[in-house]
Amino acid sequence: MAKKHKRFGALHKTLKDTNYSATSGAAGEYLNFLKGTNKLVVARRPDSKYLVRFNVGVIPFDVEPDSTAGVINAYQGTMTILANNILTKLVTLLPDGLLGIERDLTKTKEVAGFYPALAHIAVVSTSAAKSQKTSGITKRAYKALPVRNGGVPYGRTITTVKDPKGAAITDISKETEEDSRAAIMTAVKGKFVETLKCIGVSFTPELHPESGFFGVAKPTGDAVPTDIPAN
């Protein structure tokens, strides 16, 4: 509900000012949406075959990678066929290496409750034109492009990722989620590949609630830092 209020702040304020009594116009339609009368309908929902999920691996940001030879650091997450198809089209801009994706599942492990960070890639055909739409919430008319979206997992990597100062990152343990976000955004937002254009990228951070929160003792030894980084 909070997100609705933020997105439609002016309409919500109008409703409050009228003691939620609006019966017509955008405010009235918004009230009908809050009541459940007006509903959002996904008119261009892909066929179920595009929504089938499969597993890939990524090295999580919130877990320190183990440099021991042969240790598996990549955790499994899921991606839809549609997201993978979008990624395939953009592969010259956004290869698996830049995302830190491992497709060989024998080199990954399953960790219950882990959800990888996702880059939500929005693409549209360069020949597409805006068409007339009607908001399911306010019933207002508007024009929109026929956009497709895919949530692509990403994790730690040292492939063409730079730190905030522009220096290449060579130590994977020092790479952050913010570093990868910046690299992904720079690589694809506003870019073209043949007849496809990436018009936007948004991000969802990784989640693994039980990893690192229960039963994990503080590490010891000379390798554990005791200072506060200067930069």
pLDDT for res 144 = 67
Q: Same structural domain for residues 110 and 191?
A: yes
Characterize the bridge pairing of strands 131-134 and 117-125: unpaired
Strand-by-strand arrangement of the 53-58 sheet: 53-58, 74-80, 108-109
pLDDT for res 2 = 39
pLDDT for res 17 = 73
Q: Same structural domain for residues 76 and 188?
A: yes
Q: How many CB atoms lie within 10 A of CB 121?
A: 24
| Domain assignment of residue 216, yes or no | no
* Count of domains for the chain: 2
Cα four-point dihedral sign 159, 165, 171, 173 = negative
- Host domain of residue 29: 2-35
| Domain assignment of residue 153, yes or no | yes
Q: Same structural domain for residues 53 and 28?
A: no
Q: Same structural domain for residues 172 and 195?
A: yes
Q: Same structural domain for residues 14 and 113?
A: no
pLDDT for res 224 = 67
Those residues of the chain that have pLDDT short of 50 are 1-5, 211-212, 228, 231
Q: Same structural domain for residues 30 and 110?
A: no
pLDDT for res 7 = 63
pLDDT for res 138 = 64
pLDDT for res 98 = 94
What is the pTM (predicted TM-score) of this model?
A: 0.71
In 3D space, the residue among 47, 49, 51, 25 whose CA is nearest the CA of residue 38 turns out to be 25
Distance between CA atoms of 30 and 37, rounded to whole angstroms?
Answer: 10
Cα four-point dihedral sign 85, 90, 96, 98 = negative
For the stretch 137-152, what's the b/e string if a residue is b when 16 or more beta carbons lie within 10 angstroms of its beta carbon?
Answer: bbeeeeeeeeebebbb
pLDDT for res 188 = 93
Q: Same structural domain for residues 28 and 56?
A: no
Distance between CA atoms of 196 and 85, rounded to whole angstroms?
Answer: 12
Q: Same structural domain for residues 86 and 13?
A: no
| Domain assignment of residue 189, yes or no | yes
